[in-house]
Structure 1
Amino acid sequence: MFRFTLAAIVMLCGTGTAMAQPEEDFGDSRWSIAIHGGAGTINRDKITAEQDSAIRAALGSALEAGSKILKDGGSAIEAITATIIILENDPNFNAGKGAVFTWDKTNELDSSIMDGSDLSAGAVAGINGTKNPILLARAVKDNSPHVMLSGEGANQFSREQGLEQVNPDYYATPYRLEQIDKLLAKEVSAADVDYKFGTVGAVAMDKDGHMAAGTSTGGMTGKRWGRIGDSPIIGAGTYADDRSCAISATGSGEYFIRLGVAHEICARIRMRFPEAIKEAQRAVPKDADGNDTYVVHGSEFQLSDEEIQQIADDVIAELGDLGGDGGIIYATPWGQAGYSFNTAGMYRGRATSEGEQSVAIYGDE
C-alpha cells in the first residue's frame, strides 16, 4: 500500500519527474493507538513524585496492553476495550474505580464505544453496579438494537448480559470522598475541587485499517440532577470512522457537546482529504500534450501529520473560544496518533508500528 503526501508530490514535481516512487511503503502491517487519562490544571507543583510515577506506570501498562493486541493482528475495537479496562480499574483516574461522587454522594458513570468499520456504537449514562462501564457500552453496541441506555435500565441490561457487578462502595476512594466532602462543606467551589478531567479513553487503527474509539468517565465532582456530559455521546466525546479518524475527548463536557467536537474533527479530515488529492493532482507535471503524467489515487495518498494536527488544533481552539477546556486524542487511517489540548497538561500516551511509544503528563513534554 503506497502512501503519498502532498509535500512528496510537490517535491517530486519540482525535480521535473513523474511520481515513480512512493514516499514510503507501509505494507499491510501499520497500526497505531493513543490513550488519555484526563486533561486540566496538571502542573508539576500539583502532582507529587509518587503520583507522577504511578500515573505514568498506569498509562504505560494500558498502552502496552493495547499495543500488543494490535501488534498481534487484533482488532482496534478489542485493543481499545482492553486498554480502557485497565484505566477503569486504576484509582488514579475518574472512571470505574476512583470515579468522582455526585452531589448526593453516589456514583453515576458514563461510557461509549464506536467501531469505525461499520459505524456501530454503544453508550451508557448514569450507571452504577457495573465494574467496567466500557464493557457495558460494548454490550449495548454488540447485543442490543440501541445506541444508548441510561440509569436503571442500563443497569438491568448489564445484569442480563452477565457483566461483573460490584457494590456501590467499590468505586469509592479516600481521595474522591475528600473531594465531595469539601465541596458539600462549601470549603471549595465545584471549579476548584479538582480541576482535572480524569476521563479515560483510547483510539486505535488496526492492521486491517479499521478504526475504533472509546471513552469512560465518572463525570464531574458534585454533579446534580442526572447531569450527563460528552463522554457517552457519540459525536461529542467519542467518534470513529474508517474514512477519517477516531477521537476520544476529555474536558468540560457541555462545550464538547455544543461543538460536537469528536465528529467535527473527523468531518473536517474527511472533507479535507478529497481537496488535498485535487491539490496534489494539480501539482503533477504535464506531458508534451498537456496531459497529467500521473493520476493520484486515494489509496496511495494520505494527509500529512501537520494537516491532521492543524485540524485538531483548530477545533480545540474553537472549543476554547466558547469557554471550554480539555483535549482529544486521535488516530487516523494513515497510522497517525496524537493529541490536542488547551489545558496545562493531559495524561496521555501513544504507540505506533513505526516505533513511537511514549507517555506524558505535562504540556511541555
Structure 2
Amino acid sequence: MKSLSRAAVLAAALALIAAPAAAQESPGWSFAIHGGAGVIERDSLTAEQDAAYRAALKRALDAGSAVLAQGGSALDAIQAAIELMEDDPLFNAGRGAVFTAAGRNELDAAVMNGSDRTAGAVAGLTTTRHPIAAARAVMEQSPHVMLIGEGADSFAASVGLEQVDPSFFFTERRWQGLVRALEQQGQPVPERPAGAPSPQAAADLPAPPLNERKFGTVGAVALDSQGRLAAGTSTGGTTAKRWGRVGDVPVIGAGTYASNAEGCAVSATGDGEFYIRASVARDICARIAAGSPALTAAQTEVDDALSLGGSGGVIVMDTDGRPGFAMTTSGMYRGAVSATQPARVAIYGDEELRP
C-alpha cells in the first residue's frame, strides 16, 4: 500500500509539471554548485586562498542565478556557471585542469536534462574551450550521448564551439603538481608543453599548496521556475592519469544524473572509479524516488559507495528546490542560492552555508 501511495504522489507531481503554466504556481527556482571535495582544512588554505575560492564560488552562483531569476532554464544556468569555473584556474576543469602523465590536459564533462532525461557527455577533449558546452551540444545537436577524443573536439568545432590551442589550459601549479607526482612514482617527466609560458610568467595567484589532496571537479544542479531539473559536471580528471583514463563525470548515472520523474539532480566529485562501480548519481535518485529525503539519500549512497574505497562528495537538488551537500571528506567547495535565499558559500566540512 505504501508503494502505491508513492506512485500516486509521483503521478500527481508529474501531472502538475506537465500542466499549463497558468494552471499552476511557479515553484520558484534554486541553484547549487560545487568546486571539488577533498582534504580541505582551515590550516591548509591561507586567508587569501580562502577568500579567492569563496569569491570564485560566488561569481558562479551569480551567473546561474542571473539566468534563473529572469525565467531562464536550468540547463542555461548550469552552463553559465560551469563555463565560468572552467575558465578559472582555481578549479580542476578547463583552464586549470590537471595534466596526464604524458603532459596533456584531457577534459571531460556531462549534462543531463531532468524533464526528458536527455543527456550529453564528452571525454578526452584537448582543444574545446568549454567542455560543458560540448556536452550540451552532444545532447541537443547529435543523435548520441557520449563522444570522446579527437572526434568530440571535431564535433564541437563543427557546431561552432570555440576552439583553442592546448596551451590555453596550461597552469604552472598544475604542471608542477604533475612533476611532483611523476617523481614520486619514479616515472619520467615529459617535456614542458609547446606554447606554455615560462615558469616565471605562469605563476598562479593565489595557488593552493601543491600537496593538497582534493578533487577540483566542478558541477551544478538546478531547478528552474518551470519546475525543470538539470545537472552538469566538468573535470580535468586526476593528476598523472594514463592510458586515456576516464572517470565518472561523463558516465551518465555515475557522476551526473537528473530526472524529474525521480525527483532529483546530482553532480559528483571524488574518486571516479568508485562512483562508476556503484552508479552513485542514479542510485541517489532511486533512493529519493523511494521516499528518502535528498540529503539523507545522498549521504547514505556516498557512504555506501565510497566504502569500496576512495573519497568524495555530491550535490543534490530535489523538485522542491532543496539542495543537499554530502561528503566523506573534510571539505568541499560549495554554494547555493534560490529565489528566496541569497547566495551562500562554504568550504570546510563543518561549515554552514553563509552569505
Q: Same fold (TM over 0.5)?
A: yes
Deviations 1:88-107 (A, max 9, x none): 01000000000000000111
Q: Which residue of 1 aligns with 2:79?
A: 81
Question: 288, 297, 316: which is aligned to 1:311?
Answer: 297
Identity %: 53
- For 2:124 and 2:332, locate their aligned partners in 1 and report how far apart those are by CA, in whole Å: 25
Alignment match, 2:284: 265
Cα distance in 2 for partners of 1:246, 1:141 equals: 17
TM norm structure 2? 0.83
Aligned-pair CA distance for 1:308: 2.1
Cα distance in 2 for partners of 1:70, 1:119 equals: 20
CA-CA distance at 1:357 after TM superposition: 2.6
Q: 1:201 aligns with which of 200, 208, 219?
A: 219
Shift of 1:327: 0.5
CA distance in 2, matches of 1:100, 1:87: 14
Structure 2: any 5+ residue segments left out of the alignment?
A: 1-5, 7-23, 188-209
Query: 1:220 and 2:206 equivalent?
Result: no
Which of 325, 329, 332 in structure 2 is aligned with 1:339?
325
Distance 2:245 2:211 in 1: 18
Equivalent residues of 1:214, 1:248 under 8 A apart: yes
Which aligned pairs between 1:132-147 and structure 2 lie closer than 5 A? 132-147=130-145
Determine which of 239, 256, 270 is the counterpart of 2:257.
239
Aligned to 1:211: 229
1:357 and 1:263 map into 2 onto residues whose CA distance is 27
8 Å contact 2:27–2:227 — kept in the other structure?
Answer: no
- State the one-letter code of the partner of 1:324: G
State the 1:29 CA deviation. Answer: 4.3
**Aligned match of 1:18:** none
Q: CA deviation at 1:193?
A: 4.7
Partner of 1:113: 111
Question: Contact conserved, 2:298 with 2:324, CA < 8 A, in 1?
Answer: no
Partners of 1:111 and 1:214 within 8 A in 2: yes
**Secondary structure class of the residue paired with 2:135:** helix
Aligned counterpart, 2:201: none
The answer to whether the 8 Å contact 1:246/1:330 transfers is yes
Equivalent-residue separation in structure 1 for 2:181 and 2:349 (angstroms): 28
Q: Which string of whole-angstrom CA distances, capped at 9 and with x for unpartnered residues, describes residues 229-287 of structure 1?
A: 00111000000001210000000000000110100001111122xxxxxxxxxxxxxxx
- How far does residue 75 in structure 1 lie from its aligned partner after superposition? 0.6
Of residues 265, 268, 271, the one that matches 1:252 is 271
Which of 129, 136, 146 aligns to 1:131? It is 129
1:172-187 superposed matches below 5 A: 172-186=170-184
Q: Is the 8 A contact 1:182 1:188 kept in 2?
A: no
Larger radius of gyration, structure 1 or 2?
A: 1
Q: Who is 2:152 aligned against?
A: 154
Alignment match of 1:98 (pick from 96, 99, 105): 96
Letter in 2 for 1:226: G
Structure 2 Cα separation of the partners of residues 220 and 363 of structure 1: 22
Aligned pairs, how many? 306
Partner of 1:300: none
Structure 1 equivalent of residue 314 of structure 2: 328
Shift of 1:113: 0.3
Q: CA deviation at 1:312?
A: 1.1
Q: TM-score, normalised by structure 1?
A: 0.81
State how 1:281-300 maps to structure 2 within 5 Å.
Answer: none
Alpha-carbon distance in structure 2 between the residues aligned to 1:73 and 1:137: 23
Take 2:235 and 2:285, find their aligned partners in 1: how far apart are those partners? 22
Alpha-carbon displacement from aligned partner over 1:124-173 (angstroms, at most 9, x marks no partner): 01111001100100110010000000011111111111111111111111
- With over 3 angstroms needed to count, the CA separation of the structure-2 counterparts of 1:50 and 1:187, relative to structure 1, is farther
| 1:166 has 2:164 as partner | yes
Q: Secondary structure at the match of 1:216?
A: strand
Give 1:87 shift. 0.6
- Alpha-carbon distance, 1:185 to partner: 1.8
In structure 1, what is the Cα distance between the partners aligned to 2:155 and 2:211?
33
Shift of 1:46: 1.2
Instruction: Give the whole-Å Cα distance in 2 for the aligned partners of 1:194 and 1:46.
Output: 8
Q: What SS class does the counterpart of residue 322 from structure 1 fall into?
A: coil
Q: Sort the Cα spacing of 1:147 and 1:187 in 2 relative to 1 into closer, same or farther, 3 A.
A: closer
In the alignment, the residues of structure 2 paired with residue 159 and residue 311 of structure 1 have an alpha-carbon distance, to the nearest angstrom, of 39
Quote the offset at 1:188 in angstroms: 9.1
- The CA RMSD over aligned residues, in Å, is 1.7
What SS does structure 1 have at the residue aligned with 2:104?
coil
Matched, 1:358 2:329: no
CA shift, 1:56, in A, is: 0.5
Task: Kindly indicate whether the alpha-carbon contact (under 8 Å) linking 1:337 and 1:352 is maintained by their aligned counterparts in 2.
Answer: no
Q: Which amino acid aligns with 2:264?
A: C
Match of 1:162, SS?
coil
Q: Look up the SS of the partner of 2:222 in the other structure.
A: strand
Matched-pair contact (CA < 8 Å) for 1:114–1:240: yes
Q: Using the alignment, how far apart are the partners of 1:115 and 1:148 within structure 2?
A: 15
